[in-house]
Structure 1
Amino acid sequence: MKLFWITCLGIFSVAATANNLPQLIPQIKPAVVAIALYNPTGSPRLKLIGSGFVVAPGNQIVTNHHVVSKLPDESKNERYVVLSGHGQVPVVHPILSRKNDPIHDLAVLKITATLPALKLADSEYTPEGTALAFTGYPITGVLGLYPATHQSTLSAVTPIAIPQDNSKTLNPKTLRQLQQPFMVYQLDGTAYPGNSGSALYRQEDGVVVAVINMVLVKGSREAVLSDPSGIAYAIPVVHLHQLLAQP
């Protein structure tokens, strides 16, 4: 009888976590933003290039470094901007300053407005098997600012770079990762290039545990694959905490 009740409680716990997501998503969306390249004379003027999310005190935007690493065309007065809001008429926020962490592919952008912020987990690694979700712009907002949410499970905590059998497969980025290895999250959910910079959060409470990354990690662990897999990766928030603490 005792075993029966334990089993029932376990099933109820899993179901309760899954049922949290419909109530959680409306709370997450106001803190989800898009990163865009603004060209005042272009058509269209705004080109969405990635996702991001707001953290405390509400004027800091987290995304991937590679999303904002390309130099804008100054001859066209191009510049990076943050887009908030919902639908076809986004609110455009100029970027005042930014912090960069190219090694972990993270960037923190500062804007003037104060937006709803997501809570970050502490620096401990999230247990494998945790039910997670991420919300962002998988096709970079072709139809406007309508963020999409995908469910995922944390499959493994794994090194970003794996030893290569053949020196011909090595490149400068892989060598740096082998010399300075760090752990990343491997997920069983599929993310797309526009999801880069999305918050990966617990379905249980919406607390952010990592930042989705579709370039830095896939370019190293999946370099030997001819076709992309259905696996996604994310950078744990321990590295984000370190970047946020910088002056």
Structure 2
Amino acid sequence: MQLSRLRTAVAGVACSAMLVAGAAPIVFTPSEATAQEMPPSFAPVAKKLLPSVVNISTTHTVEEQAGPLSQLPEGHPLRRFFKQFGDQPGEHRERQMRALGSGFVIDKAGYIVTNHHVIDKADDVSVILQDDTRLEAEIVGDDPKTDLALLKVDTDHELTAVNWGDSSKAEIGDWVLAIGNPFGLGGSVTAGIVSARGRAINAGPYSSFIQTDTAINQGNSGGPLFNTEGEVIGVNTAILSPSGGNVGVGFALPAKVAEPIITELKENGEVVRGWLGVSVQPVTDQLARGLELPQNEGALIGDVRPDSPADAAGLQSGDVVVGFNGDKVRDPRDLAWMTAQSDPDETVELSLYRDGDQRTVEVELGRLSDATQQAALGGDTDKLARKTAQSMGVQLAAPTARAREQFDLPRDVDGAVIARVAPNGPAASRGIRPGDVIRQVGRRPVEGPRDVYAAVEQALSQGQDGLVVLLSRGNQTQFVSIPLIQPEQQG
């Protein structure tokens, strides 16, 4: 009775407030447009799209050292025991690793899109069609920076191709479908909505992701995210999960990013990007006031690499880039993406603020290669290590024999070993401790500390406030989001 009276009283207060304010309650009525957006069944569109989605199987040969006691010295009495049971201490074996993923046909001639990490280091790649036909696939090209790859199969089968959609029109709350090969269960269809747009998850320097609650699991990588019209608006790439399974937080690379990359891979087998040669950071409110800027937008140049296109054009540390060929630059990610989308040797016009005055500068872009990117990150490993220690609160070590012994790590461990964790630092706030091993940054494998240093440097230059890493501890692995602190914010 009391609960009923309370509900009545709350409702009465709410209604009275609306009446006093003179506002009428908003009434949602079903409309023809709403009915079209919420179909009674996804069966018709799923039936049409299923033949266009393929399962991808890869094999990768890894060399491993046999036996847990493979470092036994000659003459040790246990060596005969392990030899008797087929374990030769110090002997190297080759093991076949298998991986599963998804892909989709974009051209009836046999071109198939998937993720780079699905086929990375693969010796053989097979594509399985909906009717279980298995075809050997050729890797036409791949682009680790956007985690995309393009495959080609030769077949007499009539393939069903899908079309790219306009991902910029996808709104939060729109229905979407994912089709793929989760856990090897090919031809699985899941439905959900667009949860958010423009998510930065540190899985690539040139992209922001569509977030969806559509069920995406291991094996869905490389599969398509469809709108209700059957157009591809994203490539399913990553999930955020403490357990490794679906918790309703998945990420798809938008079609507006993927389509031009795939087109370039199809035409050239590689992606060629423009290069400016600067490190940048976001413009905070405090920086905007100090630099006498009208707004806290743009990309603040922190460093200009010698002999770079930016250096030749006279760009300076402290310049704030706010426009690129007439398009607005809101933050460092905008500048990175616009530069990457431009061709080498193309002359672009930058709008920038210098000493409180706005001006334009023309820059002839260079060509971005892995070599120039690594050089742009700086060759001083000690300097990069210090910056990582400041921004993440960790000191890293290579998985050497000494590190493995100190932290009781497996012999075959690879990655970057966390040697020290600063108390009350960003890593400590996430429960990270010495002996944990960083295996991946985003979806990029980590072979040693240098890979983490490069990722931190890149993230800081683009104004990102965190890194998602795959962490291993004992027999458990999980993704962890570690905040980043800009070094200039240190006390």
Flag whether TM exceeds 0.5 (same fold): yes
Offset at residue 125 of structure 1 (A): 4.9
Tell me what 1:190 maps to.
Answer: 215
Matched, 1:140 2:184: yes
Residues 58 and 116 in structure 1, CA contact (< 8 A), matched pair in contact too = no
Query: Which of 172, 176, 190 is the aligned partner of 1:128?
Result: 172
Tell me what 1:13 maps to.
Answer: 34
Normalized against structure 2, the TM-score is what? 0.38
Normalized against structure 1, the TM-score is what? 0.71
Higher relative contact order (Cα pairs below 8 Å, separated by 6+ residues): 1
Matched, 1:56 2:107: yes
Matched, 1:158 2:202: no
Q: For 1:128, give the aligned amino acid.
A: I
Residues 226 and 233 in structure 2, CA contact (< 8 A), matched pair in contact too = yes
Aligned residue runs from structure 1 range 60-209, under 5 A: 60-72=111-123, 79-86=124-131, 90-113=132-155, 114-122=158-166, 124-141=168-185, 146-161=186-201, 174=202, 177=204, 180-203=205-228, 205-209=229-233
Matched, 1:235 2:235: no
Alignment deviations for residues 15-69 of structure 1 (CA, whole Å, 9 cap, x no partner): 6633251111111111110111269xxxxx9956111111124411111110000
In 1, distance between residues paired with 2:195 and 2:234? Answer: 14
Offset at residue 230 of structure 1 (A): 2.8
In 2, distance between residues paired with 1:53 and 1:84? Answer: 10
Q: Structure 2 vs 1, CA of residues 69 and 187 (structure 1 numbering), >3 Å: closer, same or farther?
A: same
Residues 160 and 181 in structure 1, CA contact (< 8 A), matched pair in contact too = no
Alignment deviations for residues 210-233 of structure 1 (CA, whole Å, 9 cap, x no partner): 01112xxx4xxx5xx754543111
3-state SS in 1 of match to 2:259: helix
Offset at residue 234 of structure 1 (A): 0.5
In 1, distance between residues paired with 2:59 and 2:122? Answer: 12
Residues 33 and 52 in structure 1, CA contact (< 8 A), matched pair in contact too = yes
Matched, 1:33 2:57: no
Query: What value does the CA root-mean-square deviation take over the aligned residues?
Result: 2.8
Residues 213 and 248 in structure 2, CA contact (< 8 A), matched pair in contact too = yes
3-state SS in 1 of match to 2:31: helix
Residues 129 and 153 in structure 1, CA contact (< 8 A), matched pair in contact too = yes
Matched, 1:210 2:234: yes
- Structure 1: runs of 5+ lacking an equivalent: 40-44, 73-78, 162-173
Tell me what 1:169 maps to.
Answer: none
In 1, distance between residues paired with 2:219 and 2:199? Answer: 23
Q: Structure 2 vs 1, CA of residues 91 and 154 (structure 1 numbering), >3 Å: closer, same or farther?
A: same
In 2, distance between residues paired with 1:236 and 1:16? Answer: 20
- Structure 2: runs of 5+ lacking an equivalent: 1-25, 61-95, 268-491
Moved more, 189-198 or 45-54: 45-54
In 2, distance between residues paired with 1:137 and 1:123? Answer: 23
Q: Structure 2 vs 1, CA of residues 14 and 183 (structure 1 numbering), >3 Å: closer, same or farther?
A: farther
Q: Structure 2 vs 1, CA of residues 227 and 139 (structure 1 numbering), >3 Å: closer, same or farther?
A: closer
3-state SS in 2 of match to 1:240: helix
Identity over aligned pairs, percent: 24
Offset at residue 108 of structure 1 (A): 1.0
